[in-house]
Amino acid sequence: MGDRSERGLVKHKRRTTISGEAAGAQAKRSGAAETLSGQVKEKEPRHETSASKQKNHSDAGDDTFSCHKLQESLLSSDSGYSNYRGILNWCVVMLVLSNARLVLENLIKYGILVDPIQFISLFLKDPYSWPALCLIIVSNVFIMAALYTERKLSVGTISESTGTFLHCINLAALLFFPAITVLSVTSMTPVGGVVALGVFTVLFLKLYSYRDVNKWCREIRHAKARTLSRAHSCPSVHKANGTAGYKHVTYPGNLTHRDIYYFIFVPTLCYELNFPRSPRIRKRFLLRRLFEMLFLMQLIVALIQQWMVPTIQNSMKPFQDMDFTRIVERLLKLAVPNHFIWLIFFYWYFHSSMNFIAELMQFGDREFYRDWWNSETIPYFWSNWNIPVHKWCLRHFYKPMLMKGVNRLPAQIAVFFLSAFFHEYLVSVPLKMFRLWAFLGMMLQIPLAYFVGRFLRGNYGNAAVWMSLIIGQPTAVLMYVHDYYVLHYGSAAEGVTA
């Protein structure tokens, strides 16, 4: 009995152990299965992601290996590309190389033609006779006449109408007296005549402005019954910290010799009782401008003697024979040196010379020109390349006409007409002949301005402005030189074929 019960217990334990082991094994198997299934599940999403990517790549054209996209060529206007610095440098290199060839060709053909003695003879026929300089010295008479007329008006010694009449006489004499002198004095050279008439023309514009501003001051004084307090245009003796101290004056305290001569010498055409002043004279800046003036003047003279004169001389025979093909060829050949000389002259006069005088006189307003080289219209060029003249025309001619009821278009045409008159005045009188080429050239700017503004825009307008400058000026030069040779030498000078 006992043995059977023990055997039964052993069997029961074995069954329990076996069943437990089986259950454990089954649990292990089930856990392994779950783990395996989890790993499979983890792998399945990765496999699906890769598949989806491949599908997207196939749909999108495989962006990973794509080398094309929607874009415009750089030289197309729709590309928005604007960095053409390399092309600009290439243009400069080509320009230098092409003109270097012209320089060598000129030297080989004509040799060295630069002669400083000949340059001096352009100003003087007789070394003991200086008519242009004497004429410039006489201009002080007209300056004093304007000053003392204003002094009489300021104290009421003469009436406003009498003062206006005296100013008109003085201004008219400023134009007629030098012209008559240049035409009548045989020892006056064309270059000397141009310099003298240029000085008198500037003086005419300055004294016209001087008269206008003082008249405005009187009108304000009479209207408000009080003096107009404005800063004086000349420095006082007292200086503080290296800066000149300026005392305020009232009209007519500005009617002094020092004040009017300061205005005569500063590089502006518009008079003020108070000019902006620089605090000190910068010696290095002054020396740089002086060096530029001397160097560029010599360069201009050398280019005229070496390059322009032979070309002009060789252009006379085609004009005499009326060979239009050769005339056009000579015109284009003359356009290059003429334009270079004009650009150098612009820098010499409007930057070097005017800044030198302004620095010496401590004149603060140095805006003598603006970005005329970006001009897209003709009026923009003429209103930005010569700021002193533009300010004068705007202040003393254009705006007064508008205030009197004149429409804008007739006023603008009148400004061009005035400019055309002075261009012809400065050319025809020194050459002692009247051909109106300069006058017509200026008046033709009016239809050209309409055409460019109406049909050409942006870069095309800018190109038209440059073409008018490059071609228009040498055309006028050839016209005047041809007529001068015909008038003074009986027939056009024959030149060798270039």
For residue 126, the 8-state DSSP code is: S
Q: What is the DSSP string of 387-452?
A: HHHHHHHIIIIIHHHHHTT--HHHHHHHHHHHHHHHHHHHHHHHHT----HHHHHHHTHHHHHHHH
Do the beta carbons of residue 253 and residue 232 sit within 8 Å? yes
Q: Is 250 helix (H, G, I), strand (E, B) or coil?
A: strand
Given 167, 232, 390, 423, which residue is catalytic? 423
Side-chain half-sphere exposure of 383, counting CA atoms within 13 A: 13
Q: Is 484 helix (H, G, I), strand (E, B) or coil?
A: helix
Single-letter amino acid, residue 99: N
Single-letter amino acid, residue 253: G
Tokens of 178: 């030098």
CA distances from 15 to 3, 8, 18, 29, 478 (A): 18, 10, 5, 20, 132
Cα–Cα distance, 376 to 453 (Å, whole number): 8
Cα–Cα distance, 307 to 334 (Å, whole number): 9
CA distances from 95 to 91, 210, 278, 304, 460 (A): 6, 46, 39, 19, 21
Buried b (16+ CB within 10 A) or exposed e, 355-372: bbebbebbbebeebbeeb
Q: Is 329 helix (H, G, I), strand (E, B) or coil?
A: helix
Q: Is 231 helix (H, G, I), strand (E, B) or coil?
A: strand
Tokens of 52: 């989806």
Helices (DSSP H) in 79-189: which residue ranges? 85-110, 116-121, 131-138, 140-155, 160-184
Cα–Cα distance, 341 to 154 (Å, whole number): 47
Angle at 156 between CA 273 and CA 394, to 5 degrees: 40
Is 482 part of the annotated catalytic residue set? no
Q: How far apart are the first and last CA of the chain?
A: 150
Residues designated as active site: 423
